[in-house]
Amino acid sequence: MVQQVLYRALVSTKWLAESVRAGKLGPGLRVLDASWYSPGTREARKEYLERHVPGASFFDIEECRDTASPYEMMLPSEERFADYVGRLGISNSTHVVVYDGDHLGTFYAPRAWWMFRVFGHRTVSVLNGGFRNWLKEGHPVTSEPSRPEPAVFKATLNPSLLKTYEQVLENLKSKRFQLVDSRSQGRYLGTEPEPDAVGLDSGHIRGSVNMPFMDFLTEEGFEKNPEELRAMFEAKKVDLEQPLIATCRKGVTACHIALAAYLCGKPDVAVYDGSWSEWFRRAPPETRVSQQKGEKA
């Protein structure tokens, strides 16, 4: 029953290509390239300017965040988000489709998807297969920047989809929420370092379960089907009928857990925005688990 009322979290490359060809992009349908890459690897904005889905705007996650926070990629304020997406031509009645250019198929797009949802926007979808498959299937690209007419967007934070440090700390005692970490197994266990991190050891929050986000994707870069996703949650003894908090390092790949659960009919997964980046620096040592240094990170 729940799945029937949920907005479609995924759209196909074929559907988007047909929408582009039919000239449907505009105030009612906007496309965003939400690519981001580790410094010194690829340049997301430069690649966007070289080629992107026709009509797509660049959604800069580095700009659309709380730049005053000492932690990575924290949510901006309602006002900042509303102003930013309004300048991209997005109103509260716009269907937003997000993608990124990662070689996995999807990496940062679910973060943008969750950001719209946490600010009260229901009509948002991820391009299934990402730009990788858009190119592979031979769909059109352009280097022409999008210049949409600005729109008015009203952002209303949905606190049920967002968890703070204090709430996650309290949850260690109450255990009202299951806690799932989306990083690779090595980073979760503390046997591999956090990439591009200074003063941040790897490890995980005590009591969290590990479900690496890459496992939600097929080798071709598409989301696995709901039956496969449900089986993955069941294998980790994660009950989708119960409350769930997703975490990672900076609240980005945690959104893959929220997306996978949504595809299984569970739209209420909350993301711990500060994630390990904040937890490592603030939490009591006994709550940080790492094999690298015994029981505590």
Per DSSP, 86 falls in state: H
Supply 146's token pair: 């999008």
Report the SS3 class of residue 286. helix
How distant is the alpha carbon of residue 132 from its chain centre?
A: 17
Burial zone of 12 (CB within 10 Å; 0-12 exposed, 13-18 middle, 19+ buried)? middle
The string of DSSP codes covering 99-166 is E---TTS-SSHHHHHHHHHHTT---EEEETTHHHHHHHTT---B-PPP-PPP--------GGGEE-HH
As annotated, the active-site residues are: 248
One DSSP character per residue, 33-82 reads E-----TTT--HHHHHHH-BSTT-EE--TTTSS-TT-SSTT----HHHHH
CA nearest to 268, candidates 234, 244, 247: 244
Number of H helices, E strands in the chain: 11, 12
The order of strands in the sheet holding 162-163 is 162-163, 270-272, 244-247, 178-181, 209-210
Structure tokens at 286: 């006994």
